[in-house]
Structure 1
Amino acid sequence: MHILLTNDDGIDSPGLRANYDALVKIPGVQVSVIAPDRNWSVSGHNKTMDRPLRVREVKWWGGEGVAFSTDGTPADCVSIASLGFLETPPDLLVSGINTGPNLGDDVTYSGTVAAAMEAHIAGFAAIAVSLDAYSNWHFETASNFIADLVRRFQSGALKLQPDNFWNINVPNLLPEQIKGVTLTRQGRRIYTDELHKRTDPRGSAYYWIGGERPGGIPGEGTDIEAITQGKISITPLMLDLTNYKLLEEMQGWEF
């Protein structure tokens, strides 16, 4: 199995390295790494079409995998790989481990999830994985879970198909503290963004968009509920954003 590993936190992220260290130990797994050279958090599904992309090999990575960084976005990393930069196409993309959760509506902002979206469009399976913490991370909990998932795909215990696309969120707990694994739907995030106006030394105004970290409604069966219960959340995603209920209602409209 050939796994492409990327993220949105950048090539130097400890979450990316934790994922790599866990996956590269699995017999029969080839790990190729193409990650951004800087942080692209909250970048969404952004793809570079207005300038050339630079790619450089990263020397400090050990093991049998190949590691590269690019000045492009997470989606660019996947596009580069799928369009021929790698000699053999990936069977699976693993994006992360992201340093912070990607729950509910976060998937529309997340560069981590955007990389998985790009893999889905390119025609191979994808996992976006995030840890519910911004510091003091227990990466081993998420990396061990992803490695176990890959082993199950290898053995045939779980079926891996090209259109599989999952968003996985892991509580920031030690492995033995995890309360289980559950299949979920997207919850509803609550954002409290604020616009901060400031003045630079030359007297010109500039703005920061900030605010408190988002909350969420822990509805039954949601990814947000699972995390609050100490469970690993697995949400299968798709790119069809059609509002089918509204579409049906609009059939009687006259235009």
Structure 2
Amino acid sequence: MASGRKRSVTSIIVTNDDGYDAPGILALAEAMRALGDAQVCAPAVNQSASGHKITLFQDIAYSRCAVGNDIPALAVDGSPADCIMLALLGLVDGRPDIVVSGINRGENMAQDLTYSGTVAAALEAVINGIPAVAFSLARADADCVDDYRVAAQVAQPIVKMALQRGLPPLTILNVNVPPVSRLQDLRGIRLTRQGLRDYRDYLVEVDDGLVQIGGEPPAANTDELGTDVWAVHRDYVSVTPVHLDMTAHHFMASLEAWDLRLPSEFNCAVGAT
């Protein structure tokens, strides 16, 4: 017998690292409205490649506003991880059912995950017991609105399934979408593992005492079957489960053979002659 109680509306926090008014987050937030009550909580300015930075014991300014088609938003003067931490600590009413991060301008594949503020925001959510999915659009241009719209269409059923089936503890889904302007141009979805890329960074000397980190786009082995790089290069959506346990389990047995021990005695007279 039905209790007569109304089912609560699904609460979704949408974040990113490109900024609260970036085209990717606007497309994603609009798509999430079909699944529940979507609210944006994202950096006030671009925080790309900020990693999992958090701001401790310092003032963090924020403002309430609306973005897109009157979507409630918080623009936070902090990192993506700050945004999620503040939202869960009370800046957003209630506890969300899921955090959705993106759609990032540019792919987050291979080692990109260690740099990505988009992925870090999702990881911050699962640290706090909230399931999360991160979305990125590969090789995105600033004005590729149609591409973001396609990526948002892809995001909708993935997030819906994550809500229905749940995710393991401390696990996010990292989703990369190829840059296409029509949904039918995608070849499908592939479950993948992280690939590897070769980062070609270099030092740029701007002036005396002033430098920049420059570089060329990273190179990757796009022929390694089953990786995120392989899939996106072939116009497949890549879905990679990512876990917070960074232990190199395959190396544990070899490391035991090192027979590491504490030194029997310490030389406290460092630098003594």
TM-score normalized by structure 2?
A: 0.86
Conserved? CA contact 1:40–1:111, under 8 Å: yes
Counterparts of 2:246 and 2:161, CA distance in 1: 30
Task: For 1:94-133, list aligned pairs within 5 A.
Answer: 94-133=100-139
* 1:41 aligns with one of 19, 41, 48: 48
Tell me what 2:228 maps to.
223
Identity %: 37
Cross-structure match for 2:6: none
The yes-or-no answer on 1:16 pairing with 2:10 is no
Aligned-partner residue type, residue 258 of structure 2: W
Deviations 1:71-112 (CA, angstroms, capped at 9, x unpaired):
010000000111122221111111100010001000000010
SS in 1 for 2:157: helix
Helix, strand or coil at the partner of 2:243: coil
Q: Which has the larger radius of gyration?
A: 2
Pairing 1:143–2:152 present: yes
Other-structure match for 1:207: 211
1:252 offset after TM fit, Å?
2.5
2:162 and 2:203 map into 1 onto residues whose CA distance is 46
Structure-to-structure mapping, 1:27-176, within 5 angstroms: 29-63=36-70, 65-135=71-141, 136-137=143-144, 138-153=147-162, 156=164, 159-161=165-167, 163=169, 164-173=171-180, 174-176=182-184
| Aligned-partner residue type, residue 183 of structure 1 | L
Matched-pair contact (CA < 8 Å) for 1:5–1:33 = yes
In the alignment, is the contact (CA less than 8 A) between 2:66 and 2:72 conserved in 1? no
Q: CA deviation at 1:50?
A: 4.0
Q: Which shifted more, 8-17 or 133-142?
A: 133-142
Tell me what 1:233 maps to: 238
User: 1:210 aligns to what SS in structure 2?
Assistant: strand
- Mapped contact 1:61–1:67 kept (Cα < 8 A): no
Contact 1:123 1:162 survives alignment (8 Å): no
> Once the 2 structures are TM-superposed, how far is the Cα of residue 61 of structure 1 from its aligned partner?
4.4
Q: Is the 8 A contact 2:15 2:100 kept in 1?
A: yes
Matches within 5 A, 1:186-197: 186-197=194-205
Aligned residue pair count:
245
The whole-number CA distance in structure 1 between the counterparts of 2:247 and 2:174 is 19
CA contact under 8 A between 2:29 and 2:39: conserved in structure 1? no
Residue identity in the other structure for 1:240 = D
Change (3 A) 1:115 1:60: closer
Q: Which runs of 5+ in 1 are unaligned?
A: none
- Given that 1:126 and 1:166 are in contact with CA atoms closer than 8 Å, whether structure 2 keeps it comes out as yes
Q: Hey, what's the Cα distance between the residues in 2 that align with 1:252 and 1:216?
A: 33
